[in-house]
């Protein structure tokens, strides 16, 4: 309905950007691509702007996902190292003092890794 309103009433660049962001955040990539295709078909006079915005949004999302993956990998690497230290006899109090981990975080280190993380 929102698309129909924008198409029939005319949309400016800011409205198109907001709409594309909304669709991307609330849907999946396949829906987003289908939506872009339909939007450019219905609004050919905005095709270049739509494609530019869609590409920028897609690239921003890809970079954000990549950065999150790096951070998660770093954290998991640190956890693996701490587990290894504990398994090889390192003093848990020493580890806690120098890492700043809480008692709950230290207890979580004793938990086995889920199958998907091995």
**What range defines the domain where residue 46 resides?**
2-113
Question: The tokens 């309905």 sit on which residue?
Answer: 1
Higher pLDDT, 116 or 102: 102
Instruction: Give tens-digit pLDDT for 67-105.
Output: 787 788 888 888 888 888 888 888 888 888 878 888 888
Burial class (CB in 10 A: 0-12, 13-18, 19+), 85: middle
Is residue 25 a part of any domain in this protein?
Answer: yes
pTM for the full model?
A: 0.41
Is residue 104 in some structural domain? yes
Indicate the number of domains in the chain. Answer: 1
Asked if residue 10 belongs to a domain, the reply is yes
The verdict on residue 41 lying in a domain is: yes
- Predicted confidence (pLDDT) per residue in 25-73, tens digit: 666 667 777 877 887 887 788 788 878 877 877 777 766 777 787 788 8
Q: Report yes or no on 44 lying in a domain.
A: yes
Residue 118 lies in a domain: no
Q: Six-digit token pair at 99?
A: 């890492």
CA distance linking residue 45 with residue 40, whole number of Å: 8
Q: Is residue 66 part of a domain?
A: yes
């Amino acid at each position: 309905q929102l698309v129909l309103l924008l198409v029939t009433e005319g949309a400016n660049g800011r409205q198109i950007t907001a709409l594309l962001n909304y669709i991307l955040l609330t849907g999946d990539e396949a829906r987003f691509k289908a939506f872009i295709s339909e939007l450019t078909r219905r609004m050919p006079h905005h095709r270049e702007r739509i494609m530019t915005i869609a590409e920028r949004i897609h690239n921003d999302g890809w970079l954000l996902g990549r950065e999150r993956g790096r951070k998660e990998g770093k954290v998991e690497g640190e956890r693996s190292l701490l587990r290894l230290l504990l398994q090889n006899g390192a003093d848990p109090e020493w580890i806690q003092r120098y890492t700043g981990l809480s008692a709950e975080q230290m207890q979580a280190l004793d938990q086995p890794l889920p199958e998907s993380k091995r």
